């Protein structure tokens, strides 16, 4: 009986702490966004010098073209500054907002 109680307590503890650990991990795109994009688009993509990007309404190919080629006041961002993998992470991060 003692084993059942201890096992149940351990399981309950695991179930209450595991989701908190997962939720505290930042999304993969947040770090490269803040490193490269936040200066113009705001720390939370709310806009600033550049437009709001939270919930971006572009498909990924349009987004990547804008990142690589720029346009208007947006400078082109080379792969040496943001890799294609990081650009995809940033895109997913923005879409999740």
CATH number of the structural domain spanning residue 81: 1.10.760.10
> Could you tell me if residue 31 is inside a domain?
yes
For the stretch 62-80, pLDDT in tens is 999 999 999 999 999 999 9
What confidence score (pLDDT) does residue 25 get? 87
Task: Report the C-alpha gap between 58 and 66 in whole angstroms.
Answer: 10
> Could you tell me if residue 20 is inside a domain?
no
> Could you tell me if residue 22 is inside a domain?
no
- Count how many domains the chain has: 1
Q: What is the mean pLDDT of the chain?
A: 84
**Residue 87 sits in which domain range?**
27-96
What confidence score (pLDDT) does residue 56 get? 87
> Could you tell me if residue 52 is inside a domain?
yes
For the stretch 11-27, pLDDT in tens is 554 455 545 445 688 89
pTM: 0.73
DSSP secondary structure of 1-33: -HHHHHHHHHHHHHHHHHHHHHHHSPPTTHHHH
What confidence score (pLDDT) does residue 4 get? 44
Selected residue with higher pLDDT from 1 and 90:
90
């Amino acid at each position: 009986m003692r084993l059942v109680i201890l096992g149940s307590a351990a399981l309950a503890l695991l179930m209450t702490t595991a989701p908190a650990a997962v939720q505290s991990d930042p999304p993969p795109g947040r770090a490269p966004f803040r490193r490269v994009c936040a200066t113009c688009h705001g720390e939370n993509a709310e806009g600033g010098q550049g437009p709001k990007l939270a919930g971006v309404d572009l498909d990924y190919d349009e987004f990547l073209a804008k990142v690589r080629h720029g346009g208007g006041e947006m400078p082109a961002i080379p792969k040496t500054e943001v890799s294609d993998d990081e650009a995809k992470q940033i895109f997913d991060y923005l879409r999740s907002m």
